[in-house]
Amino acid sequence: MIMFITLACLYDLLETDNEVFKTYAALCVSHIAQDRFDGSQVNLVLNVHGLMEKMIDLLDDEVTSISASTTIRHVIAGTDKQAQRALDLDILPRLVHFFDSTLLTSRKRRVIGWILSNVAAGTPSKIELLFGTEGISEILFKIANSDECIVRCVRYTFFNILF
């Protein structure tokens, strides 16, 4: 209950115009979503009304985009049900837009690579959704032609699809 209230308060801070508060709130949500236990923390992030949608919106914010993308990565890495709830929010087209934005850095490309790899490790319907999303194939090819660490993400994506 306390964690739910904390996340609800963090959501309010994400709505503020104060960049410092917004930055730290996004970072806190990201750390909470890094569920090291039984999936309950990811469920809390998903259950706070509008929180995941807000994190997706923050991909367009230069300051908070890394925390937002990391939160998405943690949720997608959860259970199939958790990942599906996140995917139902049209995350993949937003990632394509984010990848093509001027906000992209090597670290953000790596997070996108891990997100795509985790989606590919899911059910056949998730793999179909992944490659049915316009721009995803292009992202994978662009990542494959970048630095070695990110290339591993693409390899994991294709490995997850094949096995």
Burial status of residue 85 (CB atoms within 10 A of its CB: 0-12, 13-18, 19 or more) = middle
Distant-in-sequence, close-in-space partners of 57: CB < 8 Å, separation ≥ 6: 68
> Residue 28 corresponds to which tokens in the numbers above?
């806190």
Q: What is the pLDDT of residues 18-60, one digit of tens each?
A: 999 999 999 999 999 998 888 899 999 999 999 999 999 999 9
Give the pTM.
Answer: 0.88
Residues of the domain holding 105: 2-162
Count: domains in the chain = 1
CATH of the domain at 152: 1.25.10.10
pLDDT band at residue 87 under the 50/70/90 scheme: very high
* Residues 102-138: b if buried by 16+ CB within 10 A, e if exposed: ebeeeebbbbbbbbbbbbbbbeeebbebbeebeebee
